[in-house]
Structure 1
Amino acid sequence: MSRHDAAPAPADAVLVVVDGEHLTIDEVVTVARHATRTALSDLPPIRHALRRSRDQVRALTDEETPLYGVTTGFGDSSDRRISAGHARELQARLIRFLGCGTGDAVPPEVARAATLIRANNLARGHSGVRPELIELLLDLLNSGITPLIPAEGSVGASGDLVPLSYLAAAVTGERKVLYRGAVRPAARALEEAGLRPLTLEPKEGLALVNGTAYMTGLAALAVADARRLALLSDVTTALTVEVLRGLTDPFDAFVHDVAKPHPGQVTSAANVRALLRSSGLSTSGPFGSGRTIQDKYSIRCAPHFTGVLWDTVSWVSRWVTIEINSSTDNPLFDHVRGEVWAGGNFAGGHVALAMDTLRTAVASVADLMDRQLALVVDDKFSQGLPPNLVFPLPEGHPGQGLDHGFKGMQLVCSSLTAEALSSAMPLTAFSRSTECHNQDKVSMGATAARRTRDVLALAEKVGVIHLLALCQAADLRGPHRLGTTGLVHGRVRAAVPGVVTDRPMDEDVETVLEMLRSGALLAGLDEIAGGR
């Protein structure tokens, strides 16, 4: 599937079962990007928990017991009492006044990830919602109905209130959705898909919007993309070593496994070693004349930077997985003891810090690749490669001197890298007191996650431009002399030709970028190299 639409899932597709406890990042990705079918678990304990917490809400509502967001107003307005007779209308009003998001709609994969995660959060049985509500969320996914969620408008405090209101509106047949490749009124899309909108019961509107599913959906997709970027960085490092006839010694297991065993660093160095296996271009041991005894930092220290990204992906994955499988709204219902708890699980502090850190590690790897490219195109450092990787012409050829090779590509790469680095400022440092100072400490988690997604997109382009230049350099060195990296070179060359004389390369970038994002470019390399 493309990153921009999702067709209805085939009836025989593999099911992702939602039970509130075991949903993985990879499952979120496959539902969001590949339209894998999903269903609510039919295990009796899960259904029992949902029924009991729903019964708690009904009993408290009927008794007109003060219950936040059910028989009271919201946020700073919680001192306002609402009669039981207006409890349903209150949920509809909540969805209505939150319909004020700004910016372009997020890609469908983000909305789908948020929908799946919200269903999983509610399936834990602590939120007081009906199973039918969760099942309708999953029916939206299986039918290819995607809420149009404006990107901007969440402070990540009382959850992603504004973005998630567009998900809640779709469930009730309001606002717009994407369906069968077109923007349609939600009510019409539901009808065409054979689904009925729900009238929200007391607490259900609040349960839908008062959570972290939007920022967590963004975060889950970012984790998957960052993991792929780390592997790409190891591939481009190995190719850089080869085309610059660099040393393999800095990647030896002793340097990393024994002397400084950060797990990500160990992984990155092991990847590079595996990718350089059987290479006829890289070197080891003493040098001949005209060669320095050590390579530049962007080469020999590469595992110390890409390794940081591997390690960041590892711990961020744990945090995001916990968030995916948590109850993140308020109030929460303990159906075992029959108690109601007011808390702050809607605060996205963990997601925010995870995304700020991941974004910094991603920007650093973009800078690493950009620095490697600068060495490859500069004949002062490239160990005999022609300036800007211009394809050599015979002496006296009338076109000699006219071509500029990868000069323009390196300019673009530098621009993208600068933009990525400039976006590394942590959003967690920008908490804003809002909502009449009720939400006086906020996470900015959704903005941090969106910014991380943006930086990842920039870093992917940096990596692709670097890779295209490396393939050109390999053509000049002799691609038959490559090690395992020859697999990637072959895939690139099967899609785009080398540059014999100057031509536009924007379509080359788009072609290889799509190969990267589809998984075709690096398929199988994680097993070959041992990347996590």
Structure 2
Amino acid sequence: MTTTGTELFLDGTALRVTEVAAVARRTVPVNLGIAPAALTAMHESVLLKRELIDTGIPIYGVTTGFGDSVNRQISPAKAADLQRNLIVYHLNGVGPVTAPDVTRATLLIRANCLTRGPSAIRPEVVSTLLRHLDADILPLIPERGSLGASGDLVPLCYVAAALLGEGEVRYRGEVRPTAEALRAEGIEPVVLEPKEGLALINGTAFTSAFAALAVADAAELAYAADVATAMTCEALLGNGSHFHPFVHANKPHPGQGASAELIRGLLDGSGLTTSYEEILVRRSGLEGRGFRTLEHRIQDKYSVRCAPHVNGVLRDSLEWVGRWIDTEINSSTDNPLFAWETGELHHGGNFYAGHVGQAMDSLKVAVASLADLLDRQLELVVDEKFNAGLTPNLIAPRDAEDYESGLHHGFKGMQIAASAVTAEALKHSGPATAFSRSTESHNQDKVSMGTIAARDARTIIELTRQVTAIHLLALAQAVEIRGVHRAAPAIRRVHELIRDHVPFTDRDRRMDHDIHQVERLIADGSVRAAADVADPLFPTDR
């Protein structure tokens, strides 16, 4: 892939997760095209395919049936019609319609994989796919129906059907017949040649779309979680020395160290946190006594003290998960493949989404653990038994004589909601890849379940973002009760961002809209931008 200004030329080798997210979320305008070198490779593999078809040899999915029907050879004259039937008989997805950003990511990844060359699909077909993406003509893809092996056959058939001008699409904010949307944009429907239907649907683009966006979203969550930990430390008058470089240099996992370093940067200048060194200076010794009760804890509870060890797992997981997904979205993931340089035809199983499935199962466990961490921090902040003198449930301070005293419950309901959402995140964290099914007459007798794992990761990230939003709302309330002027500058900036969208909670009121507002601030990077402290592991230009 090469870029020129706002143009992105695909070649199937260098597309990155961050670029997928940018195109899928339309954060920057990008004109898409195919790199010249990729055009050459695609043309050559198409020529080889045509030559081999003319020899009369059986070529899987081109002059044979599909899957278990591989032993049924047809004449070359029927090969084009076979591709249409392949698409039609897989249009049986169920469940909710896939979100627009995932659909855009699917179109981009499938196009990129096909530009590598070995798939023997004409460049004009892929160019048409990119025109759909440019015009935001999005097929309505049901989420359910893929096993993550033999490719995302069912979901990607909806992409292929749209290229044929069939079915319905989301276009200009409405669901419209595909043919109508294509006419509006001056796009001609595709007429498939042999192998081209199989090339379009026999790949992992749908699974990888969920995965790529999950990686991008989890990186923002990792940052927001460290912001939450820093604010928790301030709200609880905690011990900032838990994040001292010496501690984490002696357990040098990169993610753990980066988390601690970021928290230190966020707490820089805090007038609310203390340190072990300050405790040593400020507090006298036993002075001859055999026992005394300390006025100040020298260690915080695990959900604060060990936060870098929890978030560090997510951060280190993201490093290798991101590499795996980058590899997947730059691979030829269909079958068969045509080696035009040597004139060879190869049958294999690159459509198997095993790496994506394993990556997503691992990612979702790490993210769910983060939800649990933040839920435990929230409990400490709202519970008067543990919150170091903050009001019960963070209710607005009032004089006892005030009529409103005793009538309000602050963040009691919010903590209940966070606990419920956390439980749901944890429930979804079981490994999907362990549940392989034998299907299609035992041809697909071992499948990856990668699509379900990736969809689960998406769900857990959404749930964890909701928990994080609730926690940040509570922390903004807590810091305000403590005195915002005493907080670290970075925390004051995050507090200001939240207050720009959500008011202080001075009485019982509905707060679901508040949660949605802060969810959005996490997802779009506003929390990171407001804190304005560099992430050592995941800079904004990563």
Structure 2 length as normaliser, TM-score? 0.94
Q: Contact 2:34 / 2:127 at 8 angstroms: preserved in 1?
A: no
Q: Contact 2:113 / 2:330 at 8 angstroms: preserved in 1?
A: yes
Q: Which residue of 1 aligns with 2:218?
A: 226
Q: Which residue of 2 aligns with 1:335?
A: 340
Q: Distance in 2 between matches of 1:529 and 1:313?
A: 14
Q: Contact 1:220 / 1:320 at 8 angstroms: preserved in 2?
A: yes
Q: Which residue of 2 aligns with 1:40?
A: 33
Q: Which residue of 2 aligns with 1:443?
A: 448
Q: CA deviation at 1:519?
A: 2.2
Q: Which residue of 1 aligns with 2:525?
A: 519
Q: After TM superposition, list the pairs within 5 Å mapping 1:23-422 onto structure 2.
A: 23-34=15-26, 36-43=29-36, 45-256=37-248, 258-285=249-276, 287=279, 289-422=294-427
Q: Contact 1:312 / 1:358 at 8 angstroms: preserved in 2?
A: yes
Q: CA deviation at 1:39?
A: 2.3
Q: CA deviation at 1:525?
A: 4.2
How many percent of aligned residue pairs carry the same amino acid? 52
Q: 1:21 to 1:437 in 2, by over 3 A?
A: same
Question: Is the counterpart of residue 476 in structure 1 residue 481 in structure 2?
Answer: yes
Q: Distance in 2 between matches of 1:524 and 1:57?
A: 54
Q: CA deviation at 1:459?
A: 0.2
Q: Distance in 1 between matches of 2:252 and 2:535?
A: 18
Q: Distance in 1 between matches of 2:30 and 2:216?
A: 19
Q: CA deviation at 1:495?
A: 1.0
**Unmatched segments (≥5 aa) in structure 1:** 1-11
Q: Contact 1:31 / 1:38 at 8 angstroms: preserved in 2?
A: no
Q: CA deviation at 1:526?
A: 6.5
Q: Which moved more, 1:192-201 or 1:507-516?
A: 507-516
Q: Contact 1:210 / 1:329 at 8 angstroms: preserved in 2?
A: yes
Q: CA deviation at 1:163?
A: 0.4
Which of 424, 432, 441 is residue 427 of structure 1 equivalent to? 432
SS for the counterpart of 2:341 is coil
CA displacement 1:397-429 (0-9 Å, x = unmatched)? 111111100000000000000000011100010
Question: Is the counterpart of residue 498 in structure 1 residue 535 in structure 2?
Answer: no
Q: Distance in 2 between matches of 1:529 and 1:239?
A: 16
Q: Distance in 2 between matches of 1:240 and 1:531?
A: 22
Q: Which moved more, 1:122-131 or 1:34-43?
A: 34-43
Q: Which moved more, 1:407-416 or 1:481-490?
A: 481-490
Q: Contact 1:275 / 1:529 at 8 angstroms: preserved in 2?
A: no
CA displacement 1:228-285 (0-9 Å, x = unmatched)? 00001000000000010000111001111x2000000011000100000000001012
Q: CA deviation at 1:395?
A: 2.1
Write the letter of the residue equivalent to 1:505. Answer: M
Q: Distance in 2 between matches of 1:321 and 1:144?
A: 24
Q: Contact 1:274 / 1:529 at 8 angstroms: preserved in 2?
A: no
Q: Distance in 2 between matches of 1:277 and 1:185?
A: 56
Question: Is the counterpart of residue 16 in structure 1 residue 8 in structure 2?
Answer: yes
Q: Which residue of 1 aligns with 2:291?
A: none
Q: Distance in 2 between matches of 1:523 and 1:15?
A: 26
Q: Contact 1:25 / 1:220 at 8 angstroms: preserved in 2?
A: yes
Q: Which residue of 2 aligns with 1:486?
A: 492
Structure 1 length as normaliser, TM-score? 0.96
Q: CA deviation at 1:40?
A: 2.5
Q: Contact 2:433 / 2:448 at 8 angstroms: preserved in 1?
A: yes
Q: Which residue of 2 aligns with 1:6?
A: none
Q: Contact 2:497 / 2:530 at 8 angstroms: preserved in 1?
A: no
4+ long deviations beyond 4 Å = 524-527
Q: Distance in 1 between matches of 2:361 and 2:242?
A: 30
Q: Distance in 2 between matches of 1:182 and 1:62?
A: 45
Q: Contact 1:231 / 1:531 at 8 angstroms: preserved in 2?
A: no
Q: CA deviation at 1:108?
A: 0.7
CA displacement 1:94-122 (0-9 Å, x = unmatched)? 00000000001110110110100000000
Q: Contact 2:491 / 2:531 at 8 angstroms: preserved in 1?
A: no
Q: CA deviation at 1:130?
A: 0.3
Q: Contact 1:352 / 1:428 at 8 angstroms: preserved in 2?
A: yes
Q: Distance in 2 between matches of 1:314 and 1:390?
A: 40
Q: Contact 1:19 / 1:40 at 8 angstroms: preserved in 2?
A: no
Q: CA RMSD in A?
A: 1.3
SS for the counterpart of 2:121 is coil
Write the letter of the residue equivalent to 1:522. Answer: R
Q: How many residues align?
A: 519
Q: CA deviation at 1:527?
A: 4.7
